[in-house]
A and B are shown apart, each in its own frame.
Chain A
Amino acid sequence: MQTLLLRWNERSWDVIPSPQVGESSELHSIASESGSRDVVDTNAAVGRTRASAAGSWATLTEHITAPSYPGNTISYYETSLIPNDYYNQGCAAARRKQAGIVVLDFGQPTNWSATSIPQFGTRLVGSQLHAYISNGTSTDIRHLVDQFAKGYDAAYTGANPTKCTLVAGPRQGIEVVIATSNDTSGNNNALTSDHAVAWAAMIDGVRADTFGIQGILAQAGIDAEPNYDLGYTSTANWVNSYSQNGHTLCYNFGSTDGYPNLAQGEPTPVVPNPYGYSAWRVDQLYDIATGIMGQRPLPQIYRPKMARDWYRVQSWSQTRPGPSYAMTFAGIMSECRSSGCQPPADFRQEQAWQVFWLEFNADPNTQQAAPNSTDIQCSNGGGVGCAPNSDITP
């Protein structure tokens, strides 16, 4: 006999490779901790094994071991328009020896103009401050990101030791993801093609400003979530426009907000998912994450189901009719420090990455390295919603 492990992938049962020991081995029972975020390495399967056909049976225990965590960077829901705050963020990133993706999320896309001439910007999370994409002041987004880069650079050059002390050793590369969202709520929202054009120009400006700062590479990002834009069209317009006008990658660090809905013509699964469906179809989620040129997924993961929802997108993309492109996940984003890692369900940073990794790598068709992990926190130290004076300690 050989051990047999199956796992339901929301549409069918998969065989999960399990260790075989001895001449024969069997599994008789399986369980995991229930009702907890500690889902990664609490599974246990038990049975028996024997070394030879003539030998005695011995007990057998197996479990999942957590994959080695690559560590995470710190990203920010930006709540401030103070240049020095960004300088300090860049300095801190260098001093922490962070490598990989750092998202600076400036919040909801907006048009602050009261006239027909748009003044595109964002509404910052929590503080609700009005930010401008590029209005030539020292507090527009372009210049705030420049300050981040200068702070990072200063850490390695020692150019300003009173503000940022020198860091020894080689520079670790950071992709600075300058991000907005697809939030269409409230007044002044501007999830539009023109906003994306302005966003692309701003990031080009940041790239020009930071040219020569070794280790800094500006990219775009969007927190694209179905519940922000139930109709999908505005999000698609923004992303398509950025794809056509931008010159960088655009990381989507959104969520699916439910189980990805059926693509047009896709048969209903034999067992419908019981957990609630996303407002977007699986093909729409795929396009925003990968299908539109330049988009790259960096999904928010803080519950097990969120990883499984993205697995559904990935596996669907491989079986769809017509051409498709493999989803290469840049990694994951956790929200531990901005949500406070609220027990019992929310993941800690390493759990988010480990659950995502296990979800995708148990299936040989969807294996992912997911090399990046970033945890987003409110720059003002606030908790959920980045409300200031929160009891969450950053």
Chain B
Amino acid sequence: MYSTHPLRLDYEAVTAPAPRDPDPSGRRAYGAAAHDFAAGSCCICCPGGGTQQCGTRQDARRATVPLLNLTPVATNFNGVVGIDHYGPANKVVVSVNYFAGTPHNFDLINGDGSHSQFSNISGFTDEVKIATVRDSHAGFVAGELFTGNGHDGQIVRISPDGVVVQNPWVTLPSGSGLLRGSLYVDRTGVFGGDLIVVTTVGRVWRITSAGTATFLADVGVHLEGLITVPNEARYGPWAGKILAGAEEQTRIYTIDPQGNSAWYNLDIEPEDIDLITPNENFFAVSYDEHQVLGATADQFTGMIGDMLIAEEGNDPTHGYLWRVYWDGTQFQRTLLGPRKHWEHVTFSSAGIPPLPPVPTSTPTNTPTNTPTNTPTSTPVCVPSSHWCTETSANVPSAAGSLNGVAVYDRNERWAVGSVGSPTAGPQQSLVEHSTGQGWAVQTGVPNVSALNGVAKVARPAFTYLTPLPGLTPTPDLWAIGDSGIIHYRNGSWTQDPTGLGGRGITTLDSQDMYAVGAQIQHGNGNGWSGSTPVPGGGVLNGVAMIGTKYTPIPQAGEVLSTPTIFVKKDDWAVGYRTGSDNPSPLIVHQVRATAVPGIWTVVAVPTPGDATSAVLNSVDYYDRNNVWAVGTYHFVDTPQNEGDNTLIEHWDGTAWSIIPSPNPGGAYNSLQSVWYSQEGDIWAAGYYSNVS
């Protein structure tokens, strides 16, 4: 998703402005860029700082491999730092509430992206890193956690259920440094499956399950990021060794089982190091954004077994996710993720929407888009947009569909539609009501066949009508069906005998409204006045009345706060022309100064060049110069390439023009409704399909 903004990743030529300081405690003197990454500059890949060329930094930064599609899976953390897979629940565990560790230290990320406290541990200070045991072995129990507590050399052991806490479990000799370095449970066997730790002063230890610590090395610099590398030839000189990062030096240290160390400079500032594991989703802590991002397992195809290194981004040239591998001659790296303040990362089989869980037994390719679930009463939410399903209501044993919605406030929402299938006989009217406690089917609704639209008696301008404290205006709604118009007032629905069936309906106030379909009808509160043919010949699906200047009529529970006399202006209706096999878009318009209907005229509307037919379904406005209409058009570019695309048109006060719109479906895209709030928020809704 970041590949559309490649310039964000290009910091090499930084001169001004200066970068942000990620540390609120003070300002760091970044000044000019600390490195010169001009083409031809060296990327050191040899132990101890040799001079072997491995391509330029510039080239690597501009690598053309696709970046990971990283999606927030859990948000709104406070001070999230450490992360690891938590096997007992197939979840992800994180450390939170940096720096003080209060009110608690650990959260589990749940399957819906929410997170909740794990264990009652609190007060572990500094950066709390986590190592979990994946599989029981050599006295370690699957699901156990190891961490530091913010005290010199102290390691904590936590039972899989988070209840039993050995604090400290092991205390390394004085001066060993904090465990904010990193901890890792060896999975290669090279180090006997021991717990490996590296510290803030650069010391490396291995600890058995019995708590016996063995000193391995002291490299004299803050180490952070830790992994043990399988003893396989594909890893070149790193095979069978510990990797630990030294971000201050842009170095990666290796430590072998005998404690011998060497370093490599890939111009990466390691914050964390992981092996890319098969069939596991990727999760990364984005500290500044207070969230955990995820990428699906399938995105790592072709990288399994390689190293993934995250940078914290202490200067403007770092802060990325890198893939690092040995090509048989030297180490190579490719850019995987955008610049952020990354903390620790992990791979896990956990699924957190939109990332599906990954079966541990069989490989799978999983979609990366929004969650797909079977219908359920449990809300399905998209974490990024916070759109969720609600528990909807249906008539038992009958098909149901909703075609229109009107909202007074969160506790007064109405939806209309149909019961039954058009292929199984006449459809019945369906009205649902939500008072904030879920939707309920309304009974006693007159049947005018399928209801196609609903309009509340408008609150036209936000400065004019103010609900009185504690009072909610009595709902006053009109709905139009295939065979008539119904009205809700004083707690019940009645059919208006003067109304004809149609497709769309809107109101300006309780005495001025329009209904459209195969004809145009005007309502004045006392009935619907006859039938006006659609100019140009066609069917109208949607109608909007621009009452920007008029006198609103207060309802019960409202007060007119701005008693100004206004003048009515424009009305628009949209649909399609009939008369040929291929419908074309139709827009009609009238201007009037009173509530008396005017004369509707056809307004020219452009169609896409490759359209063979087009339909407009809905219209809404902000003011006289900002009216939007949405719909669908069919195109045939070649006999092998045809389909339906969204169609969005905009009126600027002078003419209608086509505004480019997304078409996520490969075969079919349609917009059914547009909504323009008084605050200028414009939404459109519809559906798409990749199946032709």
Contacts and interface: CB of A to CB of B under 8 A. Distances in A.
Interface in A291-327: 291-294, 296, 303-305, 308, 318-326
A19 B668 CA distance: 18
Contacts of B394: 58-59
Given A36-B462, A57-B400, A62 B626 contact: no
A12 B660 contact: yes
A115 B335 CA distance: 60
Interface in A265-305: 270-272, 274-275, 287, 290-294, 296, 303-305
Nearest to B5: A318
A67 B386 contact: yes
A61 to B, nearest CB: 4
Interface stretch (A25-33, A119-127, A141-149): A25-33
Contact of B370 (A17, A59, A296, A326): A17
A159 interface: no
A30 B673 contact: yes
A371 to B, nearest CB: 5
B67 to A, nearest CB: 12
B169 to A, nearest CB: 24
B387 A59 contact: no
A293 B17 contact: yes
Interface stretch (A1-9, A186-194, A380-388): A1-9
Interface stretch (B53-61, B156-164, B401-409): B401-409
How many chain A residues sit at the interface, stated as a range, is 35 or more
A208 interface: no
Given A57-B401, A67-B76, A20 B370 contact: yes
Contacts of B379: 65
A217 to B, nearest CB: 6
A7 B682 contact: yes
Interface stretch (B19-27, B141-149, B271-279): B19-27
A159 to B, nearest CB: 21
B555 interface: no
Contacts, number: 376
A21 interface: yes
A19 B681 contact: no
Given A4-B687, A293-B17, A28 B288 contact: no
A48 B370 contact: no
Contacts of B622: 274
A58 B392 contact: yes
Interface string A54-90: 0011111111111110100000000000000000000
Contacts of B289: 328, 367-369
B386 A358 contact: yes
A124 to B, nearest CB: 27
Interface in B401-450: 401-410, 413, 415, 417, 421, 430, 432, 434, 439
B381 interface: yes
Nearest to B20: A325
A50 B687 CA distance: 14
Interface stretch (A37-45, A105-113, A130-138, A221-229): A37-45
Given A38-B409, A64-B387, A365-B2, A21 B461 contact: no
B683 A6 contact: yes
Contact of B375 (A51, A270, A294): A51
Contacts of B662: 6, 13-15
Interface residues of B, number: 129
B684 A170 contact: no
Given A25-B687, A219-B24, A371-B78, A364 B1 contact: yes
A233 interface: no
A34 interface: yes
A213 to B, nearest CB: 14
A343 B466 contact: yes
Nearest to A272: B652
A27 B687 contact: yes
B100 A1 contact: no
B421 A33 contact: no
A170 B13 contact: no
Interface string B289-314: 11100000000000000000000000
Contacts of B7: 318-324
A62 B388 contact: yes
Contact of A34 (B2, B18, B102, B677): B677
Interface string B541-557: 00000000000000000
B96 interface: no
B34 interface: no
B504 to A, nearest CB: 10
Contacts of A48: 400-402, 417
Interface in B349-390: 354, 369-376, 379-382, 384-390
Contacts of A16: 385, 387, 683
Contacts of B660: 12-13, 270
A61 B14 contact: no
Contacts of A14: 662
B389 A21 contact: yes
B17 A287 contact: yes
B175 interface: no
A23 to B, nearest CB: 8
B681 A39 contact: yes
B685 A328 contact: no
A22 B432 CA distance: 21
Contacts of B618: 29
B87 interface: no
Contacts of A184: none
Q: Give the most central of B2, B683, B688: most A CB within 10 Å.
A: B683
A21 B370 contact: no
Contacts of A270: 657, 659-660
Contacts of A371: 78, 290
Given A64-B386, A65-B386, A274 B401 contact: no
Interface of A: 1-8, 12-22, 25-36, 38-39, 41-51, 56-68, 70, 170, 175, 217, 219, 243, 246-249, 270-272, 274-275, 287, 290-294, 296, 303-305, 308, 318-326, 328, 343-345, 358, 361-362, 364-365, 367-369, 371
8 contacts: A4-B671, A8-B683, A27-B672, A28-B403, A36-B462, A58-B375, A274-B680, A364-B1
The 3 tightest CB contacts between A and B, nearest first, are: A35-B462, A369-B290, A46-B402
Given A20-B370, A296-B20, 18 more contacts: A3-B685, A6-B671, A7-B684, A14-B662, A16-B683, A17-B384, A19-B370, A22-B374, A29-B673, A42-B410, A43-B407, A46-B417, A57-B421, A64-B386, A65-B387, A68-B76, A325-B316, A344-B462
